A and B are shown apart, each in its own frame.
Chain A
Amino acid sequence: MLKYIIRRLVMLIPVLLGVSILTFSLVHLIPGDPAKSMLGEKATETQLELLREEMGLNDPYIVQYGNFIGKILQGDLGESIQSKEDIAVEIAQKLPATIELTIFAMILAMVIGILAGVIAAVKQYSWFDNVSMTGALFGVSLPIFWLGLMMIWVFAVELKILPPSGRLASTVELETITNFYLLDSILSGNWGAFKDAFFHLLMPGLALGTIPMAVIARMTRSSMLEVMGQDYIRTAAAKGLKKQLIIFQHALKNAFLPVLTIIGLQFGFLLGGAVLTETIFSWPGIGRYVYQAVLARDYQIVQSTILIIATIFVLVNLLTDILYKYFDPRIKYE
């Protein structure tokens, strides 16, 4: 098992190398001049040329790429072209916000998605099945940005029960330890802040979690339907076990494997989806950070952040593969 994990970690190197080439190329293919966006429209050609030279923009691409990778290997993600801030520091500050949001959205999606899928399967063709699966169809089809805006309009503007943006009300004090606000408020025993942070998480979490929730619900349903027809489920019933036990233990553990695969993949989409959600809800995470960097042609930030997101995605997939073994003892990793 340990050997397998090590091998998978080594395999990360070519994957991330590929990602770095891809992002580097994409960023440099996008039209727009970073020098111009820094100095503004009124800059003279000499000023621009000087800045380009200073930033290394006139070097051949291969040299620029070499510099980029060389720095990253030293743990240096470079500095923002605009603010001159160290990108690594900025990401370290913003990443917890994104991860908190992503995990919250994922938990929401898993709890509701799996429960709805299981009930829909057990009560196949019932009104619950029809309603929840039609709902799931809507869920995968709704654009996140539209859903997010509608939620803000309904819950924040009209009903005024949820905050429209941000992570914490400006009136709430919270000592930041890990930068995960829910965790920090628990650690410092600050329940007022916990409640406020939770309410701030609800809308973006729901908006972000809608698509995975729908996908998980549909996958759980079809997987459960298949498992419920298996011989061992009949055996469990013939042993006189309670129905809930048969459904939630005997069936669900077997049905969970394909759902787990989906969850692992959806996690990646969530990180991507965070760009939209964070922008709409002014969530100070790396999604919004990248979005603003793209607008400002701050390609250093874009490159580095995408690389970080890709690394997280690959690690989540590795974790998924390791979890497989827990759910299915027949899986062997040599």
Chain B
Amino acid sequence: MDTDTPLLDVVNLHTHFFTKAGTVKAVDGIDFSVKPGETLGIVGESGSGKSITAMSILGLIPSPPGKIVDGGIYFKGENLLDKKEKQLRQIRGKEIGMVFQDPMTSLNPVFTVEKQMVETIRAHENFSKKQARDRSLELLNLVGIPDPKKRLTSYPHEFSGGMRQRIMIAIALACNPSLLIADEPTTALDVTIQAQILDLFRRMQRELDMGIIMITHDLGVVSEVCDRVMVMYAGKPAEFSETKNLFDHGKHPYTLGLMNSIPKITPEKHKLEAIDGVPPDLHGLPKGCSFAPRCKHVMESCLNIDPELKEVDNNHHVRCLLYEDSKEAVST
């Protein structure tokens, strides 16, 4: 596959949840693509739709109440939404690996690491038990578990958090996936372990030429590993840009708010800024821009018009009326 063809192309994805209290538009129109060897960051606070996006790609949205109501998810050119459950199962864990947030709860506590690795490999490859076991050893070695032979028969509770996340990564990588989705893979780990795990991701990506979707709320993680970033707010993209550009020329008030809420290491003391208000209730979003109630630069038109994602610079998109031609915005 040539490197310009996207590995994954998500087009106008809408994932909604139909609950008794009303429809929750958890993901409401997002587009992005991931190329082989590229890392895309998806950033946002809880409830912004990051994880739902990931689960939508894998076809793991609990239904009911969830449903992908519109859009397309093209993986290697084929729309995953057209695939049957059996075909999706062959993609999950093989073509697309997934690492979850909390390694303490993401591994099954009553099965050995060996069983959990071997079953993944044997679900997708025509391996004997012995071959699958050898492959598991190889993977544990790859992700840096010391003494893998001995540890293979251990249970998850016998490992530390960082080691468990390595095992999760080993399982995700078991069948050499071309895409790895990591949903907050370092959030539950302490800082030194975080750095090690991020290192591991970079190393694996180099060795396997995978595309990675890194879902996080931590801009520090983004700056370290991501090539491009999508900032999400209330199920929609707020800003989409190359990582360096976002840190240098971030435009959306929400992005700027996120950046200002990172503590700075400077000699003079200053108060840590916070974004006012609380994350929106997806049951009843305001009519205009969903960020308007919390925005410092809110204008009258923001309360009525939900802005479109507009390209403001080369490969830099922002969904904010501040950067739209105001006349055009009013007329729409």
Listed in ascending order, the chain A residues whose CB lies under 8 Å from chain B are 230-232, 234-242, 245, 250, 253-254, 327-330
Contact = CB atoms under 8 A, between A and B. Distances in A.
Contact of B60 (A238, A250, A254): A238
Nearest to B98: A238
Interface in B245-284: none
Given A238-B58, A238-B93, 10 more contacts: A232-B105, A232-B106, A232-B107, A237-B92, A239-B120, A239-B123, A240-B94, A240-B120, A240-B123, A241-B119
Nearest to B97: A238
B123 A241 contact: yes
| Range, interface on chain B | 20 to 34
B93 A240 contact: yes
Of A232, A236, A238, A245, chain B has the most CB atoms within 10 Å of the CB of: A238
A95 to B, nearest CB: 35
Nearest to B119: A241
B172 to A, nearest CB: 8
Given A231-B100, A328-B110, A242 B105 contact: no
B198 interface: no
Contacts, number: 70
Given A234-B60, A238-B60, A240-B123, A254 B109 contact: yes
B89 A242 contact: yes
A235 B91 contact: no
Contacts of A329: 109-110, 155, 157
B125 to A, nearest CB: 11
19 contacts: A230-B105, A231-B102, A235-B106, A235-B168, A236-B108, A237-B92, A238-B58, A240-B91, A240-B93, A240-B123, A240-B124, A241-B119, A242-B89, A245-B119, A250-B108, A328-B110, A329-B109, A329-B110, A330-B157
B131 interface: no
Nearest to A238: B98
Contact of B109 (A241, A242, A328): A328
Nearest to B96: A238
Interface in B48-62: 58, 60
Interface string B77-117: 00000000000011111100010101001111111000000
A329 B156 CA distance: 10
Contacts of B30: none
B26 to A, nearest CB: 16
B184 to A, nearest CB: 12
B243 to A, nearest CB: 26
* 7 closest residue pairs by CB, A with B: A240-B93, A240-B92, A239-B93, A231-B105, A232-B108, A238-B98, A239-B120
A195 B171 CA distance: 50
A330 B111 CA distance: 10
B65 to A, nearest CB: 12
Given A237-B92, A238-B93, A327 B110 contact: yes
